[in-house]
Amino acid sequence: MELLQLMDSAVRLATPLLLAALAGLYSERSGIFDIGLEGKMLIAAFTAGAFSGIAGMPIAEGGWGWTYGMAWFGLFTAIIASVLLSLIHGFASITLRGNQLISGVAVNFFAAGTTVLIGQEWFRAGGQTPSLRGAQRFEPITLPFADAVSEVPVIGPVYADLISGHNIVVYIAILAVPLTWWILFRTRFGLRLRAVGENPGAVDTAGISVVKQRYAAVVIAGILCGLAGAYLSLGTSAAGFVKDMSAGKGFIALAALIFAKWQPRGVLFAALLFGFLEAIGNKYQSVDIGAFVIPVQFMQALPYILTVVILAGFVGKAIPPKAGGEPYVKER
Amino acid sequence: MNKGLPKWADVLLIPVLSLLLALFVSGLVVLFIGRDPIEAVKVMVQGAFGKYGIGYTLYYTTNFIFTGLAVAVAFHARLFNIGGEGQAGLGGVGVALVLLSFNWPNWVVALIAASIGAAIFGAAWAAIPAYLQAKRGSHIVITTIMFNLIGSALINYLLVGPMQAPGMVPETPGFPEAAALPTLHDVFAVFGIAFDKNAPANVSIFIALAALVFVYILIWKTRIGYEIRAFGHSEKAAVYAGISPLKITMIAMLVSGALAGLMAINTVMGEAERLVLDSVQGAGFVGIAVALMGRSHPVGVLLAAFLFGILYQGGGELSFAMGIPREMIVVIQALVIMFTGSLENIVRMPVEKLFLRFNKGGA
């Protein structure tokens, strides 16, 4: 039962990592490094929280008095905000051929600053957005027959507690994995996307625009980060935006991506692994192993430590897309 | 790279234009939240240069010289050290351990010992990411960020555990009184110059200035510096010339981490006189903007650090006088990184065209 609970919260915690790591997958497969996943998630979380909050606020209090669809509206605005940041990153790294790492870092700071700045200006609550209720959030969905089968041993609880009862974004994230695989490995678009990340010169020779292909990848990354961010503020128990709520998840997602060797299926497992570790860290605040007590701070730092361990390559060699990080200069 | 661009345009004109563009966009952000940007600039300048402000401006400048140099040294080896925040935090632990372990009789000896402690701890925190980068190819950007987060957890642990002063506050006991660094007030008083008594600026600023000279000599006047720059230009060529990537990566990152760690003598030893939570306050990240703006050159770093000192102190005034949150500085920082870093070609391309046309006309 305890394990089931852990796995359940692992799925919840893995969702933003999964979406962000898939965002990184599209971007990096096309040859654009994206350190800015973190910032895009953060700005999306803020926008989603702010607009869902305003839309659902009663007219008397200065809101728009909506009664349904606020969460979807919040998601929509989150995706727009995240894609805008993606386009800035794209403009810097594709059109201007600037340094992609620096651009990503700038995006992160920009998001960290503006979310609090604008949040304080709009809501005057130290950068928080109003706390969200009802249709302002994505509420858990009970899958069909969940109650009926919950009495069946083993399969019942797994279906009722682990598989059912998440919000829509969790299911979108999981479905995004096979979809991404299909797009990248079974469509012409995906083949071209991977090709510009490996050998842009060849793609260019074939008469396909490297620039367009990379912009497309960067925009998809923006959409996925928008989903990840909206999930943070609308789909978790935070029920609103809190300052710096992405808390390094964008970077952990990058590590998950490397761990997954830039493969969609691997990304799913890596995200679940990190989610599981975070769930353990949350559940067992300090662990007494007899001789001494592992302090709570260590448990909190565990996902970060694991990220380093994984990057250290104790899991085998990960070969990144060949043209990653390199601006493409057309030959004349 | 710079086709026909004179040197002065490359090192002066383009950074200044980029900076102006960044500040202009920052002004738009201020406008967006419904405030008057001109008024904001006035408040900032007055706040940063006023009688009480300048001592804080110089205090922040000292921090940013250290962290800016840290990023700059790593940049020369084409390593992107985002870990200044963690390295400076651990530098603080080093300072605290040194100063608490012994009842220091006077501040000069204490300062030397604390500087060594700060540098060693800062360097140690950079060592693991450096080694993993060189040996295992682990992305140093991600590992240094992770080390920031791990470092902050470690310091949290130390300050509520082994290093905590008696009581409930998460901080170490105060350092020995004799180890207190003279402030700029004390220094200037010797020469009969009046300086704000309460300002935190202290003698660490002279160590920061010495660090600028040290980095200049290291990078441009020594063999190691030559190897670092060669490695930064082309790893392949450097390896062909017999330069070991492991050695250069380690040296560049150790120096970088040590410089970031040294920041703690200004904040932990000079100002707080004890180790408190979050003693770095984002200065490690400001170093990135400072290094980019200063073109990784000590003179540039000095000017950029002073500019950010003004922005930090003036930004504090903004929240007092105009109610603009301190995060405004983070936004400015982001825009400076963007326009002097990744979006630099927005300025460079038109300027190059202009010069090309001008040169043709002249010839």
The DSSP line for A99-133 is -HHHHHHHHHHHHHHHHHHHHHHHH-STTPPPP--
Q: Report yes or no: B2 and B352 within 8 Å, Cβ to Cβ.
A: yes
CB contact under 8 A, A106 and B342: yes
Nearest CA in chain B to A308: B143
- Residue A202 tokens read as 């060849």
pLDDT at B278: 87
- Residue B167 tokens read as 């009581």
Q: Report yes or no: B67 and B303 within 8 Å, Cβ to Cβ.
A: no
- Residue B270 tokens read as 């000079």
Does residue B326 have a pLDDT over 70? yes
In angstroms, rounded to a whole number, what is the distance separating the alpha carbons of residues A228 and A226? 5
**Structural domain count of chain B:** 1
Q: How many contacts does A have with B, using Cβ atoms within 8 A?
A: 144
In angstroms, rounded to a whole number, what is the distance separating the alpha carbons of residues B325 and A128? 13
Q: Which residues 77-96 of chain B have a CB within 8 Å of chain A?
A: 80, 82
CB contact under 8 A, B342 and A99: yes
Q: Which residues of A touch B324 (CB under 8 A)?
A: 117
As a dihedral over the C-alpha atoms of residue B268, residue B271, residue B272, residue B273, rounded to 10 degrees, the angle is 70
User: Is B334 within 8 Å of chain A by CB?
Assistant: yes
Secondary structure class of A137 (helix, strand, coil): coil
Residue B1 lies in a domain: no
User: Is A87 within 8 Å of chain B by CB?
Assistant: no
pLDDT in tens, B281-321: 889 989 998 998 888 999 999 999 999 999 889 888 888 88
As a dihedral over the C-alpha atoms of residue B214, residue B217, residue B218, residue B222, rounded to 10 degrees, the angle is -150
Does residue A12 have a pLDDT over 90? yes
Residue B12 lies in a domain: no
Buried b (16+ CB within 10 A) or exposed e, B233-259: eebeebeeeebeeeebbbbbbbbbbbb
Residue B101 lies in a domain: yes
Residue B5 lies in a domain: no
Question: A293-294 and A287-288: which strand pairing?
Answer: antiparallel
In angstroms, rounded to a whole number, what is the distance separating the alpha carbons of residues B358 and B349? 14
Residue B342 lies in a domain: no
pLDDT at A14: 95
**DSSP state, residue B171:** B
In angstroms, rounded to a whole number, what is the distance separating the alpha carbons of residues B141 and A104? 11
B175-194 average pLDDT score: 88
Pick the residue of A304, A309, A329 with the most B CBs within 10 A to test the interface with B by mutation: A304
A147-151 average pLDDT score: 77
Q: Report yes or no: A302 and A277 within 8 Å, Cβ to Cβ.
A: yes
Q: Which residues of A touch B235 (CB under 8 A)?
A: none
Residue B240 lies in a domain: yes
User: Is B25 within 8 Å of chain A by CB?
Assistant: no
Q: Which residues of B touch A298 (CB under 8 A)?
A: 153, 157
pLDDT at B75: 94
User: Is A286 within 8 Å of chain B by CB?
Assistant: no
A123-140 average pLDDT score: 83
In angstroms, rounded to a whole number, what is the distance separating the alpha carbons of residues A41 and A250? 7
In angstroms, rounded to a whole number, what is the distance separating the alpha carbons of residues A239 and A236? 6
Q: Report yes or no: A19 and A168 within 8 Å, Cβ to Cβ.
A: no
Does residue B1 have a pLDDT over 70? no
Q: Which residues of B touch A117 (CB under 8 A)?
A: 29, 33, 324-325, 327-328, 331
pLDDT in tens, B127-174: 999 999 998 888 888 899 899 999 999 999 999 888 888 888 889 999
Q: Report yes or no: B140 and B78 within 8 Å, Cβ to Cβ.
A: no
CB contact under 8 A, A307 and B29: no
Tokens 């701890």 belong to B121
pLDDT band at B2; cut points 50, 70, 90: very low
Phi, psi of B98 (to 5 degrees): -65, -50
pLDDT at B15: 87
What contacts 24+ positions apart, CB below 8 Å, involve B95-100?
B95/B121, B95/B264, B95/B265, B95/B268, B95/B269, B95/B275, B96/B163, B96/B172, B96/B175, B96/B268, B96/B274, B96/B275, B97/B121, B97/B163, B99/B175, B99/B176, B99/B179, B99/B269, B100/B163, B100/B172, B100/B173, B100/B175
Does residue A205 have a pLDDT over 50? yes
Domain of B41, in residue numbers: 36-323
CB contact under 8 A, A105 and B146: no
As a dihedral over the C-alpha atoms of residue A130, residue A135, residue A141, residue A147, rounded to 10 degrees, the angle is 100
**Most distant CA pair in chain A, distance:** 70
In angstroms, rounded to a whole number, what is the distance separating the alpha carbons of residues A196 and A31? 7
pLDDT band at A154; cut points 50, 70, 90: confident
Least-confidence region, from B141-155, B165-179, B199-213, B237-251: B165-179
Q: Which residues of A touch B156 (CB under 8 A)?
A: 297
CA distance A222 to chain B (A): 18
pLDDT at B161: 85
Q: Report yes or no: B315 and A104 within 8 Å, Cβ to Cβ.
A: no
Residue B118 lies in a domain: yes
pLDDT at B70: 97
pLDDT in tens, B4-29: 688 888 888 888 899 999 999 999 99
Pick the residue of A86, A87, A105, A115 with the most B CBs within 10 A to test the interface with B by mutation: A105
Least-confidence region, from A3-12, A278-287, B246-255: A278-287
pLDDT at A215: 96
pLDDT in tens, A47-97: 999 999 999 888 888 888 888 889 999 999 999 999 999 999 999 999 999
- Residue B150 tokens read as 């791990």
In angstroms, rounded to a whole number, what is the distance separating the alpha carbons of residues B14 and B130? 32
In angstroms, rounded to a whole number, what is the distance separating the alpha carbons of residues B319 and B332? 15
pLDDT at A316: 59
Phi, psi of A268 (to 5 degrees): -60, -50
Length, in residues, of chain B: 363
Q: Between the CA of residue B44 and those of A116, B311, B316, B327, what are the distances in Å?
A: 20, 7, 8, 14
Q: Which residues of B touch A92 (CB under 8 A)?
A: 338, 342-343
pLDDT at A171: 94
Task: Output the domain CATH number for residue B149.
Answer: 1.10.3470
CA distance A117 to chain B (A): 6
Q: Which residues 274-293 of chain B have a CB within 8 Å of chain A?
A: 285, 288, 292
Q: Which residues 16-35 of chain A have a CB within 8 Å of chain B?
A: 35
Residues 6+ apart with CB under 8 A from B19: B293, B307, B336, B339, B340
pLDDT at A277: 86
Secondary structure class of A144 (helix, strand, coil): coil
**DSSP state, residue B102:** S
Nearest CA in chain A to B327: A113
User: Is A311 within 8 Å of chain B by CB?
Assistant: yes
Q: What percent of chain A has pLDDT over 70?
A: 96
User: Is B41 within 8 Å of chain A by CB?
Assistant: no
Does residue B113 have a pLDDT over 80? yes
A132-149 average pLDDT score: 82
Query: Mean of the per-residue pLDDT values for chain A?
Result: 89
pLDDT band at A314; cut points 50, 70, 90: low
Residue B221 lies in a domain: yes
Judged by phi (left if over 0) then psi (alpha if -120 to 50, else beta), residue A9 lies in alpha
B39-56 average pLDDT score: 90
CA distance B285 to chain A (A): 9
pLDDT at A332: 62
Buried b (16+ CB within 10 A) or exposed e, B280-314: bebbbbbbbbbbbbbbbbbebbbebbbbbbbbbbb
Residues 6+ apart with CB under 8 A from B117: B91, B94, B95, B97, B98
CB contact under 8 A, B292 and A305: no
